[in-house]
Amino acid sequence: MIDAVGLRKVYRLKKREVVALDGVDLHVRQGEVFGVVGQSGAGKSTLLRCVNLLERPTAGTVRVDGDEVTALRGRRLREARRGIGMVHQHFALLSSRTVAGNVAFPLEIAGVGAAERRRRVAELLDLVGLSDKARAYPAQLSGGQKQRVGIARALAPRPKVLLSDEATSALDPATTTSILELLRELNRELGLTILLITHEMDVIKRICDSAAIMESGHFTESGRVLDLLATPGSRLARSLFPLPATEAPDTVALTYTHASDEPLMSELTRRFDVDVNVLGGAVEDVAGRSVGRLNVQVRGANRAAALDYLSGKGLLVEEVTAR
Amino acid sequence: MSWTAELAERWPEMWPELWLGTLDTLYMVLWATVVTLLAGLPLGVLLVTTDRGGLTPAPAVRAVLGAIVNVGRSLPFIVLMVAVLSLTRLLTGTTLGPTAAIVPLSIGAIPFFARLVETSLREVDRGVIEAAHAMGARKITIVGRVLLPEALPGLIAGLVMTVVALISYSAMAGAIGGGGLGDIAIRQGYQRFDEYYLWATVILLVLIVQAAQSLGDLLIRRLSRR
Ligand SMILES: Nc1ncnc2c1ncn2[C@@H]1O[C@H](COP(=O)(O)OP(=O)(O)O)[C@@H](O)[C@H]1O
Ligand SMILES: [Mg+2]
């Protein structure tokens, strides 16, 4: 749905150049939630702004739903932007308009008639649960409510994709949860493709199907979250499931991305006559699957065979401490 | 007899002339306000949009406009009035009377108001402007439906300041034959040394300024949504 190839963005300042994007390839599939995570200054916002051409990339092309947006200018570009919704960290609502007026704004821009606008606004406010606030002004709303208005506004022209620039970063944890749930719901129910950027790993864990880690202008890892979790040495896996450091000898980190029906640990002891000791870790829902990452101490003569058996069962086995 | 009692006693005799003076002052200020609004608002918008990082960056245009505005702002009004006398004659056929005074009043107030417009427009959240771009809005739409409405309370505050400045300029215009309350103050109060005329014009000018300010404050309160 979104395909960016070889994206570069160089900001020319008076004395120096800032390379904000340094060769990014981004592929977001239709109907998925794709998260880009990275520290402040990594180039995440620049990447997002290159997708709807708020910034024109220095090099590279961007296609959204097949249309090469980087080739568009003027009226054609403005029309293309109406198919790309955007949600902003600081909401960016018009303070002089009511909630309903804000949601109607992109429809006015698109030339939608007054009656149709009213109908669509009511529908959207219902969707985000703010029907009772239609006549309120943004200053009278909480942060979470403002972001709901931002989301309703972004969805008004029925975009194919939604871009979200740190949509929950200005919100408290409980409100963050409700906004993430709303985004997930919109993704599932409307089939909306979402590209979101965040500096919080937790957001990736909670709603993303695919993710990329961004660092100084490029992706260091990118792919389906479940695939990345099953990749040895993945930084994403380590960041999503940080395991406590351990000095215990013969410890391995086990990662599994689908729950097993078999009682694997007891099977190990029985078949290979090894001692198994779970030291710590977590099991959580990621991308709709139960994913676990555990530090497990495995000791005994048949240790190597036992670990092979686990690998054979589809678990990722990584040595943590020297034997 | 006390000062106030004397003023009260003289009032009926002074009133016909004061009333005409008030009407002349209101006439000058009102028309000058209309002209200032029509010219100063677009000028202020251009000062913002032509700036670096603005909607339509044009550094050369911006430099020229900025220079013109600065010259207008730095001229003392009394000097400006004399300087534009020939333009006044060209436009109104005379250099005397309230209609003639509208020309220098407007020319003096336009740069003043344009700067105030510029300041309020700059306070509009850049994020909102960017959001409008992301929605596919045209630049003219962004000016008309984002910049101006979002800055409206500030624009009205600026207009009120301009009206108050125009009232005080109009009194100065009176000094060189512009008519109005300033004219009365100079002729009766200064040249004939009739201090009651002087006080009466001061009272009327203060009342007019107060009325303008209160009306403006009321409007701003009703429009402010922050
Ligand atoms: N308009 C700009 N002009 C100059 N430098 C910029 C501009 N926007 C971003 N940058 C620089 O580009 C880099 C990436 O910024 P950004 O994309 O905002 O990162 P992130 O969103 O990951 O925090 C930073 O070094 C930032 O200072
Ligand atoms: Mg950012």
User: Tens digit of pLDDT for each residue in A104-163?
Assistant: 999 999 999 999 999 999 999 999 999 999 999 999 999 999 999 999 999 999 999 999
Query: What 3-state DSSP class applies to A33?
Result: strand
Domain ranges for chain B: 3-225
Is there a contact between B184 and B34 (Cβ–Cβ < 8 Å)?
A: no
Residue B1 confidence (pLDDT) = 64
Higher pLDDT: A256 or A77? It is: A77
Q: What gap in Å lies between CA A18 and CA B113, rounded to an integer?
A: 39
Helix (H, G, I), strand (E, B) or coil at B111: helix
Q: Are A89 and A151 in contact (CB under 8 A)?
A: no
Separation of alpha carbons B32 and B167, rounded Å: 10
Q: What is the pLDDT of residue A185?
A: 92
pLDDT, residue B96, reads 86
Compute the residue count for chain A.
Answer: 323
Q: What gap in Å lies between CA B47 and CA B24, rounded to an integer?
A: 33
Q: How far is the CA of B173 from the centre of ligand 2 (A)?
A: 55
CB A3 within 8 A of CB A62: yes
A138 touches chain B (CB under 8 A): yes
Alpha carbons B56 and B66: distance in angstroms, whole number: 16
Cross-chain CB nearest to B127 (options A90, A139, A157):
A90
Q: Where are the alpha helices (H) located in A191-302, listed in sequence order? A: 201-207, 225-229, 235-240, 264-272
> What band does A261 get if pLDDT is binned at 50, 70 and 90?
low
| CA–CA distance, A22 with A43 (Å, rounded to integer) | 9
Longest dimension (CA), chain A: 78
Tokens of B8: 């009260």
User: Which pLDDT does position B226 carry in this prediction?
Assistant: 66
Ligand in nearest proximity to the CA of A166: 2
For A103, name the nearest residue in chain B, comparing CA atoms only: B135
Residue B78 has pLDDT above 70, yes or no: yes
Distance from the B13 Cα atom to the nearest Cα atom in chain A, whole angstroms: 51
Give me the amino acid identity at A323: R
Say if residue A262's pLDDT is above 80: no
Q: What is the pLDDT of residue B171?
A: 85
Mean pLDDT of B1-15: 85
**Span A33-70, pLDDT tens digits:** 999 999 999 999 999 999 999 999 999 999 999 899 99
Per DSSP bridges, beta strands A193-198 and A161-165 are: parallel
Cβ(A109)–Cβ(A156) below 8 Å: no
H/E stretch holding A165 reads strand A161-165
At the topology level of CATH, where does B3-225 sit?
A: MetI-like fold (1.10.3720)
Question: How many angstroms separate the CA atoms of B194 and B216, rounded?
Answer: 34
- For residue A254, the 8-state DSSP code is E
d(CA A158, CA A180): 19
CB within 8 Å of chain A, chain B residues 82-141: 125, 127-128, 130-138, 141
pTM of structure: 0.87
The residue-averaged pLDDT of A284-292 equals: 80
Q: How many residues does chain B have?
A: 226
Give the ligand at the shortest distance from the Cα of A22. 1
Reported confidence tier of residue B131, pLDDT bands at 50, 70, 90: very high
Which tokens go with B151? 């800055």
Residues of A in contact with B226 (CB under 8 A): 95, 139
Strands, DSSP E only, in B131-214? none
Burial letters A153-167, b for 16+ CB under 10 A, else e: bbbbbebbbbbbbbb
- Check residue A183 and give its pLDDT: 93
CA distance B221 to A294: 61
What does the pLDDT read at residue A260? 66
DSSP letters along B127-150, please?
HHHHHHHHTT--HHHIIIIIIHHH
For a pLDDT cut of 70, what percent of chain A falls above it? 98
Q: Could you tell me the two tokens for B10? A: 């003289």
Most confident stretch, A56-60, A310-314, B173-177? A56-60
Contact flag A139-B226 (C-beta cutoff 8 Å): yes
The pLDDT value given to residue B124: 95
Whether the predicted pLDDT of B214 surpasses 60: yes
Find out whether A135 and A84 touch, Cβ atoms under 8 Å.
Answer: no
Tokens of A100: 């309903």
Distance A115 CA to ligand 2 centre (A): 37
* Amino acid found at B16: P
A79 token code pair: 């029309």
